[in-house]
Amino acid sequence: MRVVLPDALVDVPSTLDLGEVLVCLRPVGPAHTNGDLWAFVEPDGVALCGDLWYAQCEPYVGSGSVRGLLEAIAEIREAEARIHVPGHGPVGRLGPPGADPVECYLRWLLEEVSRAIDGGLSGERLRACVRARFEEQRQGPRAIDFAVRLPGFLEVTTAAAERDIRA
């Protein structure tokens, strides 16, 4: 295996011409983390989403922004790719606007965190409240859930949503 370290910083949209293929690099963020990037491959219509979009997996927003992640997904959606390669989960397509599980989850999370903040909660108590509400909603008719949920992802992403709302 050969490890190649990057020698360029992509902080503005740019395009790599590989002959018959163009790779359009699109920096966004903060979203999943600071310094996020996604790429659109032409003429194939492939969006390389990285950790900006997860398929069938609970998203993780560590040092990033829940709102920023929603904005990044909207930008990826605007590219109208034929195929999306997620950071985790099977290759496929984003769900329809308003129905993609990751977008629904992130919007739900912002609403729940905002409601908890309005109720005077913060920090650990806020995260516990949102965890309980998430488990409750999983039993409902319009449940948001993922085939792959990882311990602590909800709490870390809740903390990111709290930062977004309080900023």
Q: Is the pLDDT of residue 92 over 80?
A: yes
pLDDT tens-digit series, residues 139-148: 988 899 999 9
pLDDT, tens digit, for every residue of 48-59? 999 999 888 999
Where does the pLDDT of residue 32 fall: very low under 50, low under 70, confident under 90, or very high at 90 and above?
A: very high
How far apart CA 165 and CA 88 sit, in angstroms, is: 27
Cβ proximity of 28 and 11 under 8 Å: no
Helix 153-166 to helix 101-118 angle (10° resolution) is 60
Q: What pLDDT does 6 receive?
A: 73
Residues 6+ apart with CB under 8 A from 101: 56, 95, 144, 145, 146
Q: Give pLDDT, residue 5.
A: 79
For the segment 130-143, the average pLDDT, to the nearest whole number, is: 93
